[in-house]
Structure 1
C-alpha cells in the first residue's frame, strides 16, 4: 500500500488517467482492492450487530481514519465539496447492504451488488454518463464480451442456496440473525434486521426482496466515483483539480462519515435514545471500515492508471469470489455438491471475463 501511495504521490498524472505509472501498479491495486473488499466484513461476521446501524457508524469511523491518514500523506490537496456526494451515495448503499446480508448471506449478497455495481460503474465511465468523458479501450469487443460474461457468472451464482436459506425454509418460526451464531440470543432491540422480520412471508419472497435491495445498493455504489471523475474530466470548471485519484479520498470519506453520522442521529432519535450497541462489534466494525478504506484507495489508484472501463469490471467481480471462499470455509454458509459445481462454473466464467477485460487494454486520452 505504501508503494502505491508513494508512486501515485510522486508521479505526474495525465489529463485522463495516469499514463506515467506502469500498468502493473494498476493491476496490483486491483488485487489489493479485490482482497480487501471481499474480506472487509469478515472481522464482524460472527459478532452480533443488532439492526446494523451502530455497526455501520463505527465502520464509517474506520473509513474516515484511513481517509485522514491518506490525506496527510498526499499533503492535504484541495477539498472539493462535490465529492461528498459520492460518500453519501456509498453510505446509503452500505446501510442497505447490511440488511441484504442478513437476508441472503454474505457471499450471495456481495455477488449481487458487485454485479450491479460493475455494470453501472463500467457503463458510466465507458459511455460517459452524467457529463463524464467516455473512456475507450484498444479492443472494445473484448471489453464488451468480458463484461457480459461477468454478468452471466453473477446470474449463475444466484442459484446458490445458503445454509441460512435452508434453515429458514425448514424452521420459519425459529430463526437467528444471519450474522450471529446460533448460541447468541436475540434481544428486544434485534427487531429491524433479524431474519424473523422478513420470514413472515415465504422464503422466496425474502430472497426476492434481498435481491432487489442488493441491486439498489449496487447502483448507489456504482455512482460513488462519478463526482470525483467529473471534476477531473472538466479542468475548465475546476482548474485546480488534480488527476491523482488519491487526492479525492478525504473528501469522499468525509462524505461517508458525515452522512453516516446523520443517519445514526436520526436512528437514535427514532429509537428514543436507546440504540442497539453491542460492545463486541465496535472494534470489528472499525477494522472492517479500515479494510474497506484501503480497498477503496486501491480502487482509486486503479482508476487513475487503468481507467474505469478496465478497473471497474475487474474490481467489482473479484470480491464476490473472495466472499464465496469465506462463506464456504469460515462462515460455513455454503455446502453441497450442487453449490460447489455452481461456484466452479461461475468462477471459471469470471476468470475468462477478467482475462478478456485485461486484454482489451486502456487507451490513454
Structure 2
C-alpha cells in the first residue's frame, strides 16, 4: 500500500501540470479568438463601406488563426482600407447638399448630427453593445463646438483664409498630439520621424494652393462651391448670412477674432479623438477597439448639437431658419459623415493618429475637387488647373511620405 501511494503521487503531479497547461492554452486560445473576432467586426464594417451591399460572412476562427493574430492588434491592410474609405466619404460628404439652401446652418447641423447619432446606434449593435464611457463624449462636444464656429469665421475672414487656418491647425493638432502624446495619451511616434515630418509639411503646403482656386460659377452658385472642404459646414449663403455681433465689430477686431476662432475650431477638430485615446490608455480594462467608442462619441455630438440648437431657437425667439427640403439631404450627409468618422477610428487604431491624420485631413480635398470639376463643373480654366495640379502634387507627395514613414 505504501509503494502504491508513492507511485500514485507522481501521477497526480503530472495530471495537475497537464490540467494547468490545458487551462493556460485554453485562456490563450480564448484571448486570441476574441482579438480575431474584433478584427472580423472591423473588417465587416469596412467591407460594407467599400463594397456597398456586399454580403460579408466569416467563419469561427481556428486556433492557428488566433495564434497568428495574438501578437498584435494592428492590421495595416485594415488601417489603410479605412483611410481610403474615410477619404472618399469625406470628399463626397456634402454632395447631397449642393443644390439646397442651408441658411445659417444651425438647422442643417442639428439634422446632420441626429443621423450621425442614429448611425452610431447601428455601429454599437454591430460591436455587441460594448461598455459606454461618458468621457469619450467630450470628443463629440469638441467637434460640434468647432463646427458651429464655421459660419462666423467665414463672415469674419472669408472662406479661403478661414479654411486655411482651421484646416492647418486641425492637421497639426491631430498629428502632434498623437505623435508626442499630449493630454495624457500614449505617444505614437512614426518609425521614420524625418519622413513623417516632411510629409506633414507637404500636406500643409497643399492647403495653401487651394486659396488660389476660383470657382467659375455665378455669384449665387459660387458661394456653394466649397467642395474641397473635407468635413466642415458648407453653406450656400455663408458670407451673406447676417450675424449681429459680427457686424458690430471694427475691421481690426474682425481680423483677430476671426483668426482666433479659426485656430480654435481647428484645435477642436484635431483633438476630437483625444478623449477616446485617453480612455484607452488610462482606464483599466478599457477596450482598444476604436469602434467600441463610436456610440459614445456620436452621443456627445448629438447632445451638444441639440443644446446649441435649443439655445439658437431661444435666441431667435422661436423663429429659427428651417428649410424642409434640407432634411433628406442632411440625413444622407449625416450617415456618410458617421461612416467616415467610424472608419477614422479604425484607421487610428491600426495605423495611429500620426499616420491617419495627415492623410485624412488632406485627401478629401483632392476627391471633392475632382467631383467639383467632373460633376458640378465648378472649376475650369488654365489658371485654376495649374493651382490644383500643385495642390494635388503636394497632397499626394505628403500622403505617400506619411504612409511610408510607418
Normalised to the residue count of structure 1, the TM-score between the two structures is 0.81
Q: Distance in 1 between matches of 2:184 and 2:83?
A: 25
1:148 paired to 2:201: yes
Residues 88-128 of structure 1: CA deviation (Å, up to 9, x unaligned): 111112222355578856x9866653332111100000011
Please list the CA deviations of residues 40-76 of structure 1 after superposition, one character each: whole Å capped at 9, or x if unmatched: 1111121011111001000001100111000111111
Gaps of 5+ in 2: 1-38, 47-57, 226-234
Q: How many residues align?
A: 335
Residue deviations 1:147-173, cap 9 Å, x none?
Answer: 111111112222223457x84xxxxxx
Q: Is 1:231 the equivalent of 2:269?
A: no
TM-superposed deviation, 1:176: 7.5
**Which residues of structure 1 form unaligned runs of 5+?**
168-174, 181-189
In the TM superposition, what is the alpha-carbon distance from 1:137 to its structure 2 partner?
1.8
State yes or no: 1:59 paired with 2:120.
no
Q: CA RMSD of the aligned region, Å?
A: 3.6
- TM-aligned CA distance change 1:322 to 1:208, over 3 Å: farther
Distance 1:152 1:22, change over 3 A: same
Matched, 1:4 2:57: no
* 1:325 shift after superposition: 2.2
Distance 1:108 1:62, change over 3 A: farther
The 5 A counterparts of 1:251-270 are 251-270=296-315
Q: 1:40 to 1:86 in 2, by over 3 A?
A: same
Alignment-derived partner of residue 170 in structure 1 = none
Three-state SS of the structure 1 residue aligned to 2:149 is helix
Q: For residues 123 and 273 of structure 2, what CA distance do their matches in structure 1 show?
A: 17
1:219 aligns with 2:277: no
The alpha-carbon distance between structure 1 residues 318 and 98, as it changes in their structure 2 partners (threshold 3 A), is farther
Q: Counterparts of 2:40 and 2:162 in 1: how far apart (Å)?
A: 31
Bigger radius of gyration, 1 or 2? Answer: 2
1:43 corresponding residue in structure 2: 96
Asked whether the 8 Å contact 1:111–1:317 carries over to 2, the reply is no
Q: Shift of the alpha carbon at 1:179?
A: 3.2
Q: Does 1:249 align with 2:294?
A: yes
5 Å-filtered alignment, 1:62-211, equals 62-98=115-151, 113-163=166-216, 167=219, 178-179=223-224, 193-195=238-240, 197=242
Partner of 1:183: none
TM superposition shift of 1:332 = 4.2
Q: Per-residue CA shift, 1:325-350, capped at 9, x if unaligned?
A: 23334444433221210110111111
How far apart in 2 are the matches of 1:331 and 1:104? 22
* Aligned equivalents of 2:191, 2:162: Cα separation in 1: 33
Per-residue deviation, residues 276-314 of structure 1 (Å, max 9, x unmatched): 111110111111111000000000000000011111111
